[in-house]
Amino acid sequence: MYLKSLELTGFKSFAKKSALHFNAQVTAIVGPNGSGKSNVAEAFRFVLGEQSIKSMRGKRTEDLIWSGGEGSARGNRASVKLVFDNSKKLLNIDFDEVTLERVIHRDSLSEYFINGSQVRLRDIVELLTGAHIGSSGHHIISQGEADRILNANIRERREMVEDALGLKIFQYKREESERKLEKTRQNMEKVESLRKEIAPHIKFLKKQVERVEKTIALREELKNLYKEYLKRESEYLATTEKALTDEGAVPRKDLEKLERELTSAKTVLESSKHRDVKSSDLISLESKLKEARETRDEITRAEGRIEGEIGSLEKILVREKTTANTEIATVEWSKVKTLIDSVDELLGDMNAVAKIRALFKSFLDSNKHAKSENRIGEIEKEIKILETKKKSADKGAGEIDMELSRLSREYNLLQKDIEKEKDTSRDAEKTMFRIMAVENEVRGRLSVLRVREDEIRLEKEDFKREVAEGVTLIGRDVYAYESDEKTLVPEERRVQEERRKNLERIKVRLEDSGGVSAGDVMKEFKETTERDEFLAREINDLEKSAQSLTNLIKELEEKLDTLFGEGISKINKQFKDFFALMFGGGSASLSVVKEKKRRKVALSPEEMMEIGIDVAPEDEEETELGLDINVNLPRKKIKGLEMLSGGERALTSIALLFAVSQVNPPPFIILDETDAALDEANSKKYGDMVENLSKHSQLIVITHNRETMSRAGVLYGITMGREGHSKLLSIAFNEALSVAKK
């Protein structure tokens, strides 16, 4: 025996605590009509988790609570406790005795307990399902429900039999798997949606990364080119500067020597007693020539410096014009203030948004190159100033060249006059002429060297600017050329010039790459890509999970089909035997049938055709799987349920219900006046079947039938007095019999 006791407190007509102890395989509950016998069967439904108030003959939750009577106030709560002997581990819980309790309150609050601990309804259902017990079904059969299996449609009948066969646990798993599968598919859709959302951003970031990678590659190329260029330029400048110094050393010494000799000759000439006007003119002319040459040298150096500065500015100007579109514009405050005032004026306008947008677009278009234009203007202005200085220097150079030409003519005339005279006193003048001629030649050589030195100085300044710009573009790695000990193969200067042009081209390309923050872009691309990869893995996992659930559902459906088929075969065997027993012959069986039913649609096929919509047959109908009952009464040509009398229907339903219960015997069966329609002869057959059923399941029988009562080991009588609540009386026949035998 599995059931130990049932305790009712405040439940329907049981106002006071009442307990039924099930110490026999068959326990009968008897009493007059209206005493509350059927409330016991409903108490079983209630404590086992039944949610339909209607199935317990009520309309509202409070209909299940004692409503009061004479001398007894109504109750505020109702509770039912059911105690199981779990020593054989009928219920999957580690207790030898399990108490299920359900409590309801007038505010419709419902509470569930297992061994005193509050639990969820789901916990109760799962615990009972594992033991093949439910709140309704084949093991709780009331008087009205006995015929329900005959009146049910094929689908409802199939569901009843599936429940009786213990397939509910598999159906529950299948339904749970289907819910999980649907949830998985929804999650897949969400993840796919997320991937679609970030896909354009990844595409954009990928382009940005490609730009960054190109920029990094350009920087690396620029760094390597800079290293080569700067090392060669450094060596070139150092070598050229040394060569010029070495080349100018001898002429400078010669010039110093000549100047000493010239000074000595002038001294001799000035102190000569034969000094005349020509000698004075010669000395004066020599001083003027010297001064004019020095002035010309200064102008030449100035012209060289100006030309170098103009050349540098022109290079910068070309670069600025090339990169104008990539610069960030700087706008004068007055223009911004004008924009703000214009926006303020438009705020009250109905079309303010469109007008403000147009205003901003115009402002951006007119000022997007402001910084570049300002910078270009400044450079052009500097170039113009330098060009003006150059013109002034050129003019000065022309004037001094004219002066030098005039002095040279005087010098030549004076030299010819002196040469014509054969006086030995003219030796000093001749010496001065010779020295001055040599000195003029040496000065010419030195002037050329000074021009080259000025060029080198400008090139050194360009070199310093190039290094500074390199630091700005690629960092201090630019100084790597200083530590490079590699010996360079000599090359023509034009190769270095080509290298410089290549540097400028790369710089322009770097400028064109824009102000993208490489670190931020790479980080965001990495994070977004990792997010997409995670979502892809999630989709893959969800697809595997969906496939696994699909396979599980298929396996469960196959198992359900197999168990259902096997169960139907077993039921038919028992059904045939019980039917023959009840009717003294004949046969009965269950058969699986498929029935087509019309699908509910908003429009009829005719109406849909009228508006031009084709309706295929498969769209109009769907197939429903169910069970049909076939009977063949002895000595009668009756094969349909519709032709059975009331008694015959009762016997058929009882035979079928008992057959079902024998296939997969539940731990207990509650029969609520299922024998009410039987005559005396059939009551004995019913009693025999009850006794046979008690070998497999514990029975609680609510009955008026004496034959059925005689098969019970314990008899509970229920009465109702003037107070209006049910009372219990009990007789233990099995104990009385053992006492009598003694």
- Residues 646-673: pLDDT tens digits? 778 888 888 888 888 888 788 899 998 8
| Tokens linked to 311 | 């050349």
Domain boundary among 460, 477, 499: 499
Question: pLDDT-based confidence at 420, cuts 50/70/90?
Answer: low
Residue 146's pLDDT is 66
Lowest mean pLDDT among 23-27, 269-273, 556-560, 575-579: 269-273
CB 672 within 8 A of CB 38: yes
CATH number, position 729: 3.40.50.300
B/e letters for 75-91, b = 16+ CB within 10 Å, e = fewer, are bebbbbbbbbbbeeebb
Backbone angles phi, psi at 146, to 5 degrees: -60, -40
Residue 14's pLDDT is 93
Residue 322's pLDDT is 61
Percent of the chain whose predicted confidence (pLDDT) is above 70: 85
CB 23 within 8 A of CB 699: no
Smallest Cα–Cα separation from 481: which of 199, 231, 312, 201? 231
Cα–Cα distance, 147 to 137 (Å, whole number): 13
Residue 34 lies in a domain: yes
Smallest Cα–Cα separation from 47: which of 92, 7, 85? 7
Residue 627 lies in a domain: no
Residue 85's pLDDT is 94
Residue 274 has pLDDT above 50, yes or no: no
Residue 42's pLDDT is 92
Cα–Cα distance, 623 to 618 (Å, whole number): 10
Q: What is the mean pLDDT of residues 26-54?
A: 91
Domain boundary among 483, 499, 515: 499
Q: Which residues pair with 110 in a beta bridge?
A: 104
Residue 132's pLDDT is 74
Question: pLDDT-based confidence at 545, cuts 50/70/90?
Answer: very high
Percent of the chain whose predicted confidence (pLDDT) is above 90: 22
Residue 586 lies in a domain: no
Backbone angles phi, psi at 632, to 5 degrees: -140, 100
Q: Tell whether 135 and 278 lie within a shared domain.
A: no
Of residues 44 and 215, which shows the higher confidence score?
44
Question: pLDDT-based confidence at 640, cuts 50/70/90?
Answer: confident
| Tokens linked to 52 | 């339909």
Cα–Cα distance, 618 to 621 (Å, whole number): 5
Residue 324 lies in a domain: yes
Backbone angles phi, psi at 668, to 5 degrees: -150, 155
The total number of residues written for the chain in this structure: 742
Residue 468 lies in a domain: yes
| Lookup result for tokens 């709140």 | 135
Percentages (nearest 5) of helix, strand, coil residues in the chain: 65, 15, 20
CB 162 within 8 A of CB 134: no
Cβ–Cβ contacts within 10 Å for residue 701, how many?
26
Domain boundary among 499, 530, 553: 499
B/e letters for 494-527, b = 16+ CB within 10 Å, e = fewer, are eeeeebbeebeebbebbbebeeeebeebbebbee
Domain count, the chain: 2
Residue 625's pLDDT is 79
Domain that holds residue 461: 265-499
Cα–Cα distance, 218 to 629 (Å, whole number): 86
Q: What is the mean pLDDT of residues 444-471?
A: 84
Residue 619 has pLDDT above 50, yes or no: no
Residue 36 has pLDDT above 70, yes or no: yes
Cα–Cα distance, 384 to 374 (Å, whole number): 15
Residue 6's pLDDT is 96
Angle at the Cα of 319 from the Cα atoms of 318 and 324, rounded to 5 degrees:
100
pTM of the model: 0.53
Q: Kindly report the average pLDDT of the chain as a whole number.
A: 81
Residue 318 lies in a domain: yes
Residue 742's pLDDT is 46
Q: What is the mean pLDDT of residues 162-173?
A: 80
Measure Cα distances from 715 to 52, 81, 140, 331 in Å: 29, 20, 19, 104
Residue 640 lies in a domain: no
Task: Give pLDDT tens digits for 77-123.
Answer: 999 999 999 999 989 999 999 999 999 999 889 999 999 999 999 89
* Greatest mean pLDDT range, 228-242, 260-274, 283-297, 462-476: 228-242
Residue 577 lies in a domain: no
Residue 256 has pLDDT above 80, yes or no: yes
Smallest Cα–Cα separation from 218: which of 550, 518, 493? 518
Task: Give pLDDT tens digits for 335-369.
Answer: 777 877 787 777 666 777 777 777 877 877 776 65
